[in-house]
Amino acid sequence: MCGRYVLIADPNLIQQEFNLSGVPEIGGQRYNIAPTQTLPVITNEKPGEISYLRWGLVPSWSKDPSIGAKMNNARSETAAEKPSFRTPFRRRRCLIPASGFYEWQQRENGKAPMFISLKDREVFAMAGLWDIWTSPEGQELRTFSVLTTDANEFMQPIHDRMPVILRREDYGLWLSDNVAVPKLQSLMRGYDPKLMTAYEVSKAVNKAGMDTPECIVPLAS
């Protein structure tokens, strides 16, 4: 799963990484992004710019937006068939810029928070789905979910799931229209384990309101 992530990249780098039309306004450096927050993503509707969506997908057919609290993640293995995700999987996909993410490793003395990132890249894209829910009053709510997959060899000692991290060369395909489902599903795999790194951080990150550089400082051994 993916319940927290980080975005601390320079906006100019984000523009270059995602081939945006201009330098994006990303709302400052974020060290502990949590569900229900409104966050920068790149949708297939507007692939050349940043859009702001709330984390926790609310399906368009839902009677109540509170369902989004349970929709932070979508299992990539079943997303194309699940009622909540099958339409977004076909029609509404997004890139979620990130500098890293957190996962909690189970140990004898409890769970230890780990910060995971890529060795060679300051920013990357997690694969996401998005949707539009309209209230009875006609107000639109745009939300997204992070796709997850089985952990690769690097992540397995930490957790059995991980976000789908897309290769740079697959960004365009993921945002393209009229792509066959099997082709999209072929992108739903664990990232190259040799290109990942991780270290333990302070349990201060457990608090969703804690959003400072302290969150990603390596824990002293």
153-179 pLDDT, tens digit each: 999 999 999 999 999 999 999 999 989
CA distance 21 to 5: 25
The whole-number pLDDT of residue 39 equals 97
Phi, psi (rounded to 5 degrees) for 55 = -80, 115
Say whether pLDDT at 220 is over 90.
no
Within the chain, what is the greatest distance between any pair of CA atoms?
54
Helices and strands, number each (H, E), in the chain: 4, 13
- When pLDDT is averaged across residues 181-207 and rounded to a whole number, the result is 95
Predicted local distance difference test score (pLDDT) of residue 221: 60
Q: Name the residues annotated as catalytic.
A: 2, 103
The pLDDT value given to residue 199: 96
- Condensed to tens digits (0 to 9), the pLDDT of residues 103-112 reads 999 998 889 9
* CB atoms inside a 10 Å sphere around CB 3: 16
Residue among 120, 76, 124 at smallest CA distance from 100: 124
Q: Show the domains of the chain with their CATH numbers.
A: 5-104+122-193 (3.90.1680.10)
Q: pLDDT by residue (tens digit) across 16-74?
A: 999 999 999 888 899 999 999 999 999 999 999 999 999 999 999 999 899 998 999 99
pLDDT at 1: 73
pLDDT in tens, 106-156: 998 889 999 999 998 899 999 999 999 999 999 999 999 999 999 999 999
In the structure, what pLDDT confidence band is assigned to residue 2 with cuts at 50, 70 and 90?
A: confident
| Residue 152 in tokens | 């690769």
